A and B are shown apart, each in its own frame.
Chain A
Amino acid sequence: MPPSRYRENEESKAVWVYLEQEEGTLENVSLEVLSKGRELADVMKWKLVGLLPGSGVHALAKEAITRGADEIWVMDHPLLTTFTIEGHGAVVYDAVMLGKPSIFLLGATHNGRDLAGRLAVRFRTGLNADCTNLHMDEKDALLVSEVSGFGGGVVAMIEMQNHRPQMATVRPGVFALSEPDSARRGKVIDVPVNLKPEQIKTRILERVRSGVVDLTRVPVLVVGGRGVNGDFETLKKLAEILGGDVGATRPPVDAGFIERERQIGQTGVVSSPKMALCCGLSGAFHLLVGIDKADVVVSINSDPEAPIFEFSDYYIVGDVSQYLPVLIQTLESQQEISHA
């Protein structure tokens, strides 16, 4: 197999994390990955470094240090104000080739995936996407990436012997955020940026962001599957009463009944609600990954043999189109009583 861009034995013993920011705010998933990166680095007694490209982003370096980074490499340049694959790709590539870390982790956001897919090829290295966990093989000093999807409750442990950096992406919500430690000290290193305007081939003509859906931290998650037959209005109503929000399995997302941002599971959101209410979904392992962190799981399914029941604290065998209106009514009347 052709070698990667690092020369033999050139890697430095360090864990690097790409820190993505948007208009002066670090993405939560970057901090989650940083928190996990701290654990990995501690096991090996390695350094944890955050890579921070952007414009006017110095203030964010301190925040990243409180979450466990030993060093933040800041690449500050007006051409890095908004993400472009050419701009961010070039500076991140150069920085990694300068520092040659053994491990390079990214949050699996839209931009993170674009960057990871492109850079893995540029480094001629492997990439594990959407890992459900990461740990170190201490003996061989290798990253072990867990990827699900090989079966029910079976994960594959994936390693890479000879190619560097060892790259992995992780979806939002998979790792817990560490508590910030404001006393933590770290080094902020300014990396010179050599970007020319003509390198940025992609022009951003318009950018609209509003109402970002974040299902990783909602108190109540109402998840609809194929069995709700596209009726997400009823689910929304229920979620509203409970102060929660709505998610979905993959089939209704694929069918266009609900936005992709709301897909729960291995290739969607991993949520940690107090309660997950599963409506008309079978309980495939790809989905279970997304609700496993819920304190309580409740489900309604018309099939008495539905696998989801095994993974529920409470369940009802029945038709969602029959039970949900009754449930909503009951909750509403309770509300009226408590308000009276």
Chain B
Amino acid sequence: MPEFHMVVCVKVVPRSDEIRVDRETRLLDRRHARLELNPPDMSALEMALNTRDRYGGKLDILSMGPLSFEPLLRVGLAMGCDHIVLLSDRAFGGADTLATTYTLAKGIEKMGGADLIFCGEESADGATGQVPAGLAEWLNVSQLTLLTELSLDLDKQTATGRRSLKGGYEILETPLPCVVSVKNASQEPRFINFSRKAWAYETERVTVWNAVDLNADPESIGLTGSPTTVSELARVPVRERKRIKLEGEAMAKAEQLAVIIRDSL
């Protein structure tokens, strides 16, 4: 039997606390923001590593984006992953969810498929949370979303996960292969393994594939492969507020506020 193969999909995003809003245009200014691994993906990485520690197998990182993402992805190697695959091509740029999930699916196909694929709940910059389900559909495999726990039965070839529901949870069992999305902040990511650190930053276990390598349909990737288009940007009117500053001693302000609260309810 071939080795059990797991893939964790990771995105690199600008640090949200360093994104500024331009005072003039009111658009987001990401230029000065440093990059980081998408925080929700840290839970996916941890659950993936934990699963590999328990059941064995090979665990690879898959990401799509410019070559500048590579150093950050190596953090995953230092944490314990085996290999990085970075899908990088100008033609992948401007992708909406349809084109993104298609490209990631082609990457997994080219890796020889996977038994288990981990994703974060959503990306900090796009936050649509629609990638895991879309990816599962392209790969025609089952899906378990918003998991806080996962276990496998390799004899039966099933995955069992605890999926969070509004005000509760359900325990679901589904056949492998499977795409899993991991609930944000549900796992405590491990520290990088210092004995692996030097290796992680030097190893050549990084593969970069472009659109041709993937044998991707040029019509289905990037901006060309994205059916949705932004037709315009518009200001949204936010409600006008009174903007009254409460003054005085701390106690006096708290009392004023208490009165305002009572009067408003």
**A residues neighboring B (CB under 8 Å):** 1-2, 4, 85-86, 109-110, 113-122, 124-130, 132, 144, 146, 148-163, 201-213, 219-220, 242-243, 250-251, 253-256, 260-261, 266-267, 274-275, 277, 285, 288, 292, 295-298, 309-318, 322-323, 326-327, 329-331, 334
Main secondary structure of the interface of A (DSSP, over half): mixed
Q: Interface size on B (CB < 8 Å)? A: 85
Chain B's closest residue to A333 (CB) is B258
A186 CB → nearest B CB, Å: 28
With the chains together, A148 CA to B122 CA distance in Å?
Answer: 16
CB pair A114 B233 closer than 8 Å: no
* B163-174 contact mask (Cβ, 8 Å, vs A): 1 or 0: 111111111111
With the chains together, A61 CA to B169 CA distance in Å?
Answer: 27
Q: Which of A152, A212, A253, A298 meets B166, CB within 8 Å?
A: A212
Please tell me if B210 contacts chain A, counting CB pairs below 8 Å. no
Given contacts A110-B145, A316-B246, contact A208 B133 (CB under 8 A): no
CB pair B174 A203 closer than 8 Å: yes
Please tell me if B137 contacts chain A, counting CB pairs below 8 Å. yes
CB pair A158 B166 closer than 8 Å: no
A211 CB contacts on chain B under 8 angstroms: 167
**B residues neighboring A (CB under 8 Å):** 16-17, 21-22, 25-28, 39-40, 96-98, 101-102, 122, 127-134, 136-138, 142-146, 160, 163-175, 183-185, 217, 219-220, 224-236, 238-239, 241-246, 250-251, 253-255, 257-258, 260-262, 264-265
With the chains together, A129 CA to B228 CA distance in Å?
Answer: 12
CB pair B98 A309 closer than 8 Å: no
With the chains together, A292 CA to B98 CA distance in Å?
Answer: 31
A254 CB contacts on chain B under 8 angstroms: 39-40, 184-185
B245 CB contacts on chain A under 8 angstroms: 309, 314-317
With the chains together, A132 CA to B237 CA distance in Å?
Answer: 12
Q: Which of A120, A149, A202, A213 meets B134, CB within 8 Å?
A: A120
Q: Which of A113, A129, A315 meets B244, CB within 8 Å?
A: A315
B120 CB → nearest A CB, Å: 11
Chain A's closest residue to B174 (CB) is A202
CB pair B168 A209 closer than 8 Å: yes
- Indicate the member of B138, B165, B232, B242 with the most A CB atoms within 10 Å: B165
B30 CB → nearest A CB, Å: 10
With the chains together, A250 CA to B185 CA distance in Å?
Answer: 11
With the chains together, A41 CA to B98 CA distance in Å?
Answer: 26
With the chains together, A161 CA to B127 CA distance in Å?
Answer: 23
Chain A's closest residue to B265 (CB) is A274
CB pair B230 A158 closer than 8 Å: yes
- Indicate the member of A113, A155, A275, A310 with the most B CB atoms within 10 Å: A113
CB pair A152 B21 closer than 8 Å: yes
A280 CB → nearest B CB, Å: 14
Q: Give 14 pairs: A residue, B residue, CB < 8 Å, sorted on A.
A: A1-B224, A115-B133, A118-B136, A121-B138, A126-B228, A132-B236, A153-B236, A154-B236, A158-B229, A158-B231, A205-B160, A254-B39, A260-B184, A292-B239
Q: Which of B171, B254, B258 meets A204, CB within 8 Å?
A: B171
CB pair A203 B244 closer than 8 Å: no
A255 CB contacts on chain B under 8 angstroms: 185
